[in-house]
Amino acid sequence: MVFEWFRRRSRQRKPAAVIGARAVVAHENRYDLGDLTPDTVSYLGQVAYFELAVFETLSRAVSESPDLSSKEGLSAVAGDALTKHHGVVAELRKLKVDPAIAMEPFAASIDRFKELTQGNDWLETLVSVYITGGFLDDFFQRIVGGLPRALAARVQALIEPDREAAIIVQQLQAAIDRQPAIASRLALFGRRLLGDALLLARNAIAGSGDKAHDEARMEPVFTDLIAAHSRRMDALGFTA
Binding residues vs its own copies (CB under 8 A): 49, 52, 55-56, 59-60, 62-63, 67-69, 71-72, 75-76, 78-79, 82-83, 85-86, 89, 98-100, 103-104, 107
Question: Is 76 or 199 the residue whose CB approaches its own copies more closely?
Answer: 76
CB-wise, 21 or 68, nearer to its own copies? 68
* Least distance between its own copies and beta carbon 13 (Å): 36
Q: DSSP class of residue 230?
A: H
Minimum distance, C-beta of residue 68 to its own copies, in the bound complex (Å): 4
Helix axes 40-63, 134-142, angle to 10 degrees: 160
Cβ–Cβ < 8 Å for 123, 172: yes
The least distance separating its own copies from the CB of residue 209, rounded to whole angstroms, comes to 30
* Distance of closest approach, residue 65 Cβ to its own copies, in angstroms: 10
Residue with Cβ nearer its own copies (27 or 86)? 86
Q: Of 62 and 153, which CB lies nearer to its own copies in the complex structure?
A: 62
Task: Work out the burial of residue 17: count CB atoms within 10 Å of its CB; fewer than 13 is exposed, 13-18 middle, 19 or more buried.
Answer: middle
Nearest to 17 by CA among 236, 237, 235, 240: 235
Write the CB contacts of 214 (distance below 8 Å, at least 6 apart in sequence). 36, 205, 207, 208
Q: Which helix (H) or strand (E) holds 51?
A: helix 40-63
Pick 129 or 221: Cβ nearer its own copies: 129
> Do residues 153 and 28 make contact, with C-beta atoms less than 8 angstroms apart?
no
Nearest approach, Cβ of residue 109 and its own copies (Å) = 14
